[in-house]
């Protein structure tokens, strides 16, 4: 399920806070896996599970938050910090990892960050393994749809065709292990609607338990 931002409650204070920080300038947004992505799939694969709710039921919410969400968040914060250190013009860098809003679920967070990308961001950088993340792939579509430049982990341009090929390869590998890739496929369809050619098989992106 996706929300339009207008359907959400109590978003105004968060955007006002962003306005206070950005002062009408545009930031760099760093997209990283948080609640979905390769780390989650690797853990599921090790335990012969297929969904995050099965993992939470097996290990408990505390373990899940510590070993999946926190580890992803730490990696996201470090990625943003590495991008920030390279800025020489004072451009602000945004990472979604620290934001926690009581009562929000994935649809609310995705709607909020999508709107922020479309209205307050001048480029988006994508962390390692972004193509396995439901949120990152939606954020790529939002940036591409808005005409916002997109870059990979190393700061190289990441075009729509290459991004779609990476996501397609990730979907194919996840499908082999029986994972639900519906959201990744939905985001691929959104990208195809932008007029790019259908993706071809790209480089191998293996899902190895680690």
pLDDT tens-digit map of 45-78? 999 999 999 999 999 999 999 999 999 999 999 9
Within 10 angstroms of residue 112's Cβ, the number of other Cβ atoms is 20
Number of domains the chain contains: 1
Within 10 angstroms of residue 81's Cβ, the number of other Cβ atoms is 12
User: What range does the domain containing 61 cover?
Assistant: 5-192
Is 174 inside a domain boundary? yes
Is 205 inside a domain boundary? no
pTM of the full structure: 0.85
Instruction: Look up tokens 């808005």; give the residue.
Output: 146
Within 10 angstroms of residue 64's Cβ, the number of other Cβ atoms is 20
Buried b (16+ CB within 10 A) or exposed e, 171-209: bebbeeeebebebbeebbebbeeeeeeebeebeebebee
Measured distance CA(181)–CA(84) in Å, rounded: 32
Is 210 inside a domain boundary? no
So what's the pLDDT on residue 201? 44
Is 207 inside a domain boundary? no
Instruction: Look up tokens 């997109």; give the residue.
Output: 150
So what's the pLDDT on residue 13? 61
Task: Encode pLDDT of 15-30 as tens digits.
Answer: 666 666 666 678 999 9
Question: Which residues of the chain, if any, have pLDDT below 70?
Answer: 1-24, 196-210
Element (H, E) at 12: helix 12-22
Residue 73 is encoded by which pair of tokens?
Answer: 């968040």
So what's the pLDDT on residue 100? 86
How many residues are given for the chain?
210
Helix (H, G, I), strand (E, B) or coil at 143: helix
Is 108 inside a domain boundary? yes
Sign of CA dihedral 30, 81, 112, 36: positive
So what's the pLDDT on residue 52? 95
Is 159 inside a domain boundary? yes
Is 184 inside a domain boundary? yes
Is 128 inside a domain boundary? yes
């Amino acid at each position: 399920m996706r929300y339009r931002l207008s359907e959400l409650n109590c978003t105004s204070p968060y955007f006002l806070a962003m306005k206070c920080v950005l002062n009408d300038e545009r930031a760099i947004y760093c997209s990283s896996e948080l609640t979905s992505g390769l780390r989650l799939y690797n853990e599921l694969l090790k335990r012969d599970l297929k969904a995050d709710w099965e993992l939470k039921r097996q290990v408990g919410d505390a373990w899940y938050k510590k070993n999946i969400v926190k580890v992803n968040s730490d990696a996201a914060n470090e990625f943003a910090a590495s991008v920030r250190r390279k800025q020489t013009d004072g451009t602000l860098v945004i990472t979604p990892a620290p934001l926690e809003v009581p009562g929000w679920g994935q649809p609310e967070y995705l709607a909020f960050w999508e709107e922020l990308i479309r209205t307050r961001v001048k480029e988006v950088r994508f962390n390692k393994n972004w193509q396995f993340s439901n949120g990152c792939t939606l954020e790529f579509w939002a940036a591409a749809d808005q005409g916002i430049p997109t870059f990979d982990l190393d700061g190289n341009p990441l075009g729509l065709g290459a991004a779609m090929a990476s996501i397609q390869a990730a979907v194919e590998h996840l499908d082999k292990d029986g994972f639900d890739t519906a959201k990744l496929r939905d985001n691929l369809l959104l990208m195809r609607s932008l007029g790019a050619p259908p993706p071809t098989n790209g480089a191998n992106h293996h899902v190895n338990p680690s």
